[in-house]
Chains A and B, each alone.
Chain A
Amino acid sequence: QQQVKQSPQSLIVQKGGISIINCAYENTAFDYFPWYQQFPGKGPALLIAIRPDVSEKKEGRFTISFNKSAKQFSLHIMDSQPGDSATYFCAAVPTKGDMRFGAGTRLTVKP
């Protein structure tokens, strides 16, 4: 089964710092790469997403960088805030089949 590998497993950042979460995939037949944010007791919420024909997408403080040749993509959270403390999941959506999730990164932003 195609895998999506996510790192780090956990991340601690100071308020105002940059949080970076990385993902890599093993199959080229993915059409769409979303990131989800999950708070305790809640379901994952779609944060930002990118298609493989785009190298970067920015929405507010959140940026996805995509490297098609390396089969890697990353989430950058600029000016990280304590309210950003959550678990982040990367995912890859194939042309056919189910969405594949990374294992998740627990982000803690210290005030």
Chain B
Amino acid sequence: KAGVTQTPRYLIKTRGQQVTLSCSPISGHRSVSWYQQTPGQGLQFLFEYFSETQRNKGNFPGRFSGRQFSNSRSEMNVSTLELGDSALYLCASRREVNSNQPQHFGDGTRLSIL
């Protein structure tokens, strides 16, 4: 069974640009969450999508947005990139939006802002 797939694995952008990251969940998983991981702040929750609807949102500015498609695949967009957006962006999926459902992570997209 394939795991969570994130593309691309690495990305280099400059300040002011925008970027779109993609996530394909495990087959049968309908919930997709996004996290930002940095050495200083650790793992921080961005948002969670289920059935194409955002179900939960973390404390990030509106420059960070996402969407989910009918096949459960999800994309995350960051506009007007800042140096501080350099991070590992992780996607996680689970079957349902229930607290007893474990989340499974992809290997992330490493985003570097120059």
Contacts and interface: CB of A to CB of B under 8 A. Distances in A.
Contact of A43 (B48, B56, B105): B105
A36 B106 CA distance: 13
20 contacts: A32-B99, A34-B102, A41-B107, A43-B4, A43-B90, A43-B92, A43-B108, A44-B43, A44-B105, A89-B43, A93-B100, A96-B99, A98-B33, A98-B45, A98-B56, A98-B58, A99-B33, A102-B42, A104-B42, A104-B43
A103 B42 contact: yes
Contacts of A54: none
A44 B108 CA distance: 9
Interface residues of A, number: 26
A79 B56 CA distance: 40
A49 B107 contact: no
A98 B49 CA distance: 11
Nearest to A95: B99
Contacts of B92: 43
Interface of B: 4, 6, 33, 42-43, 45, 48, 56, 58-59, 90, 92, 99-100, 102-108
Contact of A31 (B42, B56, B90, B99): B99
Contact of A98 (B48, B104, B106, B107): B48
A43 B4 CA distance: 10
The 9 A-B residue pairs with the shortest CB-CB distance in the complex, in nearest-first order: A43-B105, A31-B99, A98-B45, A101-B43, A43-B107, A93-B99, A44-B105, A103-B42, A46-B102
A66 B80 CA distance: 44
A99 B103 contact: yes
A97 B57 CA distance: 8
Given A32-B100, A93-B99, A98-B48, A43 B42 contact: no
B33 to A, nearest CB: 7
Contacts of B56: 97-98
B107 to A, nearest CB: 5
